[in-house]
Structure 1
Amino acid sequence: MASDLKNLSVFSTDELPDISHRRFAILVSEWNTEVTEALFEGAYQTLLQHGAKAENIIRGNVPGSYELSLGSQWLAQRADIDAVIALGCVIQGETKHNDYINHAVAQGLTNVSLKTGKPVIFGVLTPNDQQQAIDRAGGKHGNKGDEAAITAVKMLGLQEQVYSKF
């Protein structure tokens, strides 16, 4: 669903798991800092709001969105990390670089998640321009960081359900 039709900060919080004992890594791209810092703040505050402890949230930085895959792998391989939230922003611009980067990052994060068996969340904005990015990083369309954090929480809840029934 296009984010102009849905607010990224509005989601169901029914039956969220207890995350007070869970450890999260939030990995932030330094490219488009104005946007990625807003995404980080959204993710961090959403985790706290839903029961995560500040000491159980670690932050890492990578130079750009392309590096999110390897950084996420390093973090997800840590035994003390339950979920990784990868945050970035690749603006369309005048060339097709965004097509290559976004595809590579999406595939890379999927591979890390499948390889480690841990939620690795794609919190990367792929807007056409700077204003669309701002609108999705705490602006009129909400914050993709909020959505990424709640996705991590819900995936951990599903993991608990799946493994408690077998």
Structure 2
Amino acid sequence: MASNEKNLSEYSSTNIKPIGERKFAIVVSEWNEEITEALYHGAYSTLIQHGASKQNIIRKNVPGSFELTLGAQWMAQDNSIDAVICIGCVIQGETKHFDFICDAVAHGITNVSLKYNKPIIFGVLTPNTKKQALDRSGGKYGNKGDEAAITAIKMLGF
């Protein structure tokens, strides 16, 4: 379902289990910082709202979305980390760079998740414009960071 048909901050409360003892890593891309900071705050507050303790949420920054995969792998290697949330934003430009980055990040995050058998969440926006990114990072379509955190919580309750 397209986000213009659903608010990213709305979710079903089914499969939400207690997460007080769970440990989360949030890997945040510094590229498009205005967007990724808003996404991070959405993910962080959603984890706190659902019972995660502040000391069990670790933030690590990487330069760009391409680096999210390796950052996620480094965090996933830590056996004390239960789930990793990857936060990024790649805005369509005039070249094929967008396609290569988005494809690499999606495949990379999937591969890390399968390699470490733990939730590695794709909280990466891939909009056509900055306005679309703002609309999905706390604007009129909600916050993809909220959705990413809820996805991590639900996968831990699977």
How far apart are the structure 2 equivalents of 1:13 and 1:97?
A: 38
1:4 corresponds to: 4
Instruction: State the secondary structure of the residue aligned to 1:75.
Output: helix
Give the deviation of 1:14 after TM superposition: 2.5
Give the drift of 1:94. Answer: 1.2
Q: Distance in 1 between matches of 2:97 and 2:73?
A: 23
1:95 positional shift:
1.2
Q: Secondary structure at the match of 1:40?
A: helix
CA drift at 1:52: 0.5
Number of the residue aligned with 2:110: 110
Number of the residue aligned with 2:38: 38
1:15 CA displacement: 3.8
Q: Within 2, Cα distance between the matches of 1:15 and 1:144?
A: 19
TM-score for the superposition, normalised by structure 2: 0.99
Alignment of 1:2-151 (within 5 A): 2-151=2-151
SS at match of 1:39: helix
Flag structure 2 segments of 5+ consecutive residues without an equivalent: none
Deviation of 1:16 after TM superposition, in Å, equals 0.9
Q: CA RMSD in A?
A: 0.6
Residue identity over aligned pairs, in percent, reads: 68
Aligned-residue offset at 1:96: 1.6
Partner of 2:152 in structure 1? 152
Q: Provide TM-score, normalisation by structure 1.
A: 0.94
SS in structure 1 at match of 2:91: coil
Q: What is the count of residue pairs matched by the alignment?
A: 158
Runs of 4+ in structure 1 displaced over 3 angstroms? Answer: none
Q: What is the distance in 2 between the residues matched to 1:132 and 1:94?
A: 16
> What do the CA deviations read for 1:81-138 (whole angstroms, capped 9, x no partner)?
0000000000001112111100000000000000000100000000000000000000
Q: Aligned partners of 2:124, 2:114: CA distance in 1, in Å? A: 18
SS at match of 2:4: coil
